Amino acid sequence: MIGIAIDGPAGAGKSYLARTVAKRLGYIYVDTGALYRTVALAMAERSVDIADAEAVVAQLSTVSVTLDYAEDGSQHVYLNGRDVSSEIRMPEISMGASRVSAIPGVRSFLLDLQRNMAATHNVVMDGRDIGTVILPHADVKIFLCANERARAKRRYLELCEKGVQTTLEAVESEMLARDRNDSTRKVAPAVPAADAVILDNSDLDREGTVEAALAIIADKLA
Ligand code: DC
């Protein structure tokens, strides 16, 4: 099986890139952020204090997170059998996901699901620790990044398209707080793997980013 890892901070365009590359190559796209978002949603629905790691971990025996794929290749994520793919995109779930993802018990809870997907399919997997922890032997590792303003603008426009009322400043400060959380946590911090190719797309559009990534992939798989 071939594994392509795409890691990087929020708003770098990982999901568009991973989804598009997966489609072009005929691989499955695994959006691992959706898994942490689903755990965060479960905790919010159960009114669990996510600052209390023990309380969060105690819930996990009654939380089931599963994935499947629609005919168009889009990933659907289920919380105890309920499709929560749209709900987990709410901005308030983003910070919750970042906070639960710093809990080691949550990371180990989601580890097998991610590794099993890669063991049974050719995958393009995006996240924060795919190249460092989940698939340390991935065939290709790309760390996608862009400057803060560019990332905040992209995330802001994405939310506007979905009809979410917010401001560029609010999006930027939430995004930076989340990045700080994700890159400084003790377990699986969001840092590039030593053998990752760094792709800075601050000055590239979506198609330019896809072309640059496909060139890296072709080179690595050659
Ligand atoms: O990619 P995203 O914005 O949907 O991810 C939501 C949060 O989940 C992110 O802030 C950190 C966490 N996450 C993680 O810790 N490891 C991953 N592989 C993917 C996401």
Mean pLDDT over residues 33-41, rounded?
98
List, in sequence order, every residue forming a beta bridge with 123; answer none if it has no partner: 3, 28
Q: What is the DSSP string of 2-16?
A: -EEEEE--TTS-HHH
Tokens of 131: 């190249």
Task: Give the position, in ligand 1's atom list, of the atom nearest the Cα of 102.
Answer: 15
* DSSP secondary structure letter of residue 132: I
Tokens of 145: 């990044």
Task: Give the position, in ligand 1's atom list, of the atom nearest the Cα of 10.
Answer: 3
Check: CB of residue 57 under 8 Å from CB of residue 51: no
**How many helices (H) and strands (E) are present in the chain, helices listed first?**
8, 8
Amino acid 91: pLDDT: 83
Ligand 1 pocket, Cβ-based, cut-off 6 angstroms: 10, 32-33, 36-37, 94, 97-98, 101, 127-130, 178, 182
List, in sequence order, every residue forming a beta bridge with 196; answer none if it has no partner: none
Kindly list the strands in the beta sheet with 197-200, ordered across the sheet, starting from the edge strand earlier in the chain: 28-31, 123-127, 3-7, 140-145, 197-200
Which ranges in 101-205 belong to alpha helices (H)?
A: 104-120, 148-161, 168-184
Mean pLDDT over residues 94-117, rounded?
97
Residue 73 binned pLDDT confidence (cut-offs 50, 70, 90): confident
How many Å apart are CA 29 and CA 3, to the nearest integer? 10
Ligand 1: centre distance to CA 36 (Å) = 6
Tokens of 61: 């025996």
Mean pLDDT over residues 157-162, rounded?
90
Amino acid in position 209: T
CA-proximal residue: ligand 1, atom 11 (nearest): 98
